[in-house]
Amino acid sequence: MTQKQKIICVLYDDPIDGYPTSYARNTIPKLQQYPDGQSMPSPKSIDFNPGELLGSISGELGLRKFIENSGHELIVTSDKDSEDSVFDQHLEDASIVISQPFWPAYLTADRINKAPNLKLAITAGIGSDHVDLQSAIDNNLTVCEVTYCNSISVAEHAVMQILALVRNYIPQYKWVVSGGWNISDSVSRSYDIEGMDVGVVAAGRIGVAVLKRMKPFDVNLHYTDRHRLPEEIENQLNLTYHKDVNSLAENCDVISIHCPLHPETEHLFNDALISKMRRGSYIVNTARGKICDKDSITRALESGQLAGYAGDVWFPQPAPNDHTWRTAPNHALTPHTSGTSLSAQARYAAGVREILECWFEGRPIRDEYLIVQNGALAGTGAHSYSAGNTTDGSDQASKFKS
């Protein structure tokens, strides 16, 4: 039997009216593989029903029975941001930290230095920028995420928000619930997306999924990525490739952001880049909030340089109550929910269990799940990330009050 380990799992709070006793649907579709052929998470077994709420504290990612039967200790909390948080109280003797991007437990250099037993950080989802990857490299931590588990979930959310912005959906809905029938107000900022130039920043799994889903709308599709797509895909989707984000910005009406956050993409969309975009353009950001400079986005919305901004990612998370995006004009933002649909939760919970089974049994973790291993970027991390740290400022999450 392996030595007893303490696992801290940081999850978001239960619904305000309590953990669900029933659900809108009885089942979710059972998928056999991801679109590119990658196999779904394959743990030996699971202790949850797919379609349940697993990402909140009562759901526990369906892990408690497995972890405790394996002889280990599981601490589940949503309290993560203040210096005396439950997360910090248990971190000193924790071996494993599990966290979701939607309610991230920021593993800063200070926290890593306070956790001498910490060996493994698992992202229940995709995107491990809430971990100081440089410190993880320096301290020989293994960092994993459940690659592809919620990529299509995010792509669907991005397409929804592109249409919501261009068609001015949110104000129209508000007129209905307020008892109005103000058609002129509703359509005064509503356009057809047909014929527009729509581009994505990064054409990985999510970016390509967005491009595929936007093609039937008869738009002109563009992309930029440091790894150019095969000619076959470019021809199939009739894509225009741009060698850099500046060229993309100058030639698009709508930009959807899908690159990971690392030092090269931090504050990529700033005043200078946004000024290159067509007046009245739209940005949808379902990647990471810090890819966009917070104040630059707000200024562009106020001036009209941007006709709208949407997405579901903020920095830090949860966003402080005085975050300027909350009150900026013409936005259609949501909390970070795109990748944590009930369907996605079933996949990333199973993926976390698969990673833990490998870890406890000393078996190799899938290469596609690896971000950092043996003191270097590894697997997906080596393909998609740059070494460095993007957690500075995460302490501001403590300013959120529900």
Q: For 15-73, what is each residue's pLDDT tens digit?
A: 999 999 999 999 999 999 999 999 999 999 999 999 999 999 999 999 999 999 999 99
- The CA distance from 348 to 343, in Å, is 9
Q: Classify 362 in phi/psi space as left (phi over 0), alpha (psi -120 to 50) or beta.
A: left
pLDDT of residue 2: 64
Q: Is the dihedral of CA 104, 110, 114, 119 positive or negative?
A: positive
Contact present, 3 and 362 (Cβ < 8 Å): no
Active site residues per annotation = 150, 288, 317, 336
Contacts of 320 (CB under 8 A, 6+ apart): 396, 397, 399, 400
- Helix or strand holding residue 62 (H, E): none
pLDDT of residue 75: 98
pLDDT tens, residue by residue, 276-319: 999 999 999 999 999 999 999 999 999 999 999 999 999 999 99
Query: 151-333 maps to which CATH number?
Result: 3.40.50.720
The structure's pTM equals 0.96
Two tokens at 218?
């008869």
pLDDT of residue 33: 96
Residue type, 107: L
pLDDT of residue 402: 78
Assess whether pLDDT exceeds 50 at residue 1: no
Assess whether pLDDT exceeds 70 at residue 9: yes
- The CA distance from 129 to 259, in Å, is 11
pLDDT tens, residue by residue, 154-187: 999 999 999 999 999 999 999 999 999 999 999 9
Sheet holding 331-333: strands in order across? 239-241, 220-224, 197-201, 254-257, 281-285, 306-311, 331-333
Fold designation for 6-149+340-377: Rossmann fold (3.40.50)
DSSP character at residue 104: -
Q: Looking at the chain, which residues constitute the CATH 3.40.50.720 domain(s)?
A: 6-149+340-377, 151-333
How many residues does this entry show for the chain? 402
Assess whether pLDDT exceeds 50 at residue 192: yes
pLDDT of residue 401: 84
Bond prior to 116 in cis (omega within 30° of 0): no
pLDDT tens, residue by residue, 135-152: 999 999 999 999 999 999
